[in-house]
Amino acid sequence: MAETREGLWMSAKQRDRLKVLQEVKKRHITQRQAAAELGLSVRWVRELLVRLRVRGDGVLQHGLRGRRSNRKTPEAVKRRVVELYRQKKQAKLWHDYGPTLAAEEPSSRGSGSAGKRCGNG
């Protein structure tokens, strides 16, 4: 198996698919048999085999796995929100607050730019 720096983690379903595709690659079973076993079309099995040859075993994982979400709130914004919340007098009462509690507060302070998801990342 091709592995990246942190390793190649697959679900059981992905490992089973990989085993079947490798059997097709070794010509132990046909593409039609693999399609029936995996519940896919023959055309899709053929496409997976092409991708497997070009990109390796990681082709069965989602393409965005390991990347940062486009919707994630920047760390600087999170830190600023938490800092503003700490300055409030209520922070003395709740010294163990977390991102969820802090996310509820920016709207009451008037800094609506942080948004509703600021603490949830």
pLDDT of residue 35: 94
* Res 7 pLDDT > 60: no
pLDDT score recorded for residue 2: 44
- Find the angle CA(100)-CA(78)-CA(9) to the nearest 5 degrees: 80
DSSP 117: T
Segment 42-58, tens digit of pLDDT: 999 999 999 888 888 87
User: Cα-Cα-Cα-Cα dihedral of 79, 84, 87, 91, to 10°?
Assistant: -80
73: closest CA among 36, 47, 102, 94? 102
| Model pTM above 0.75 | no
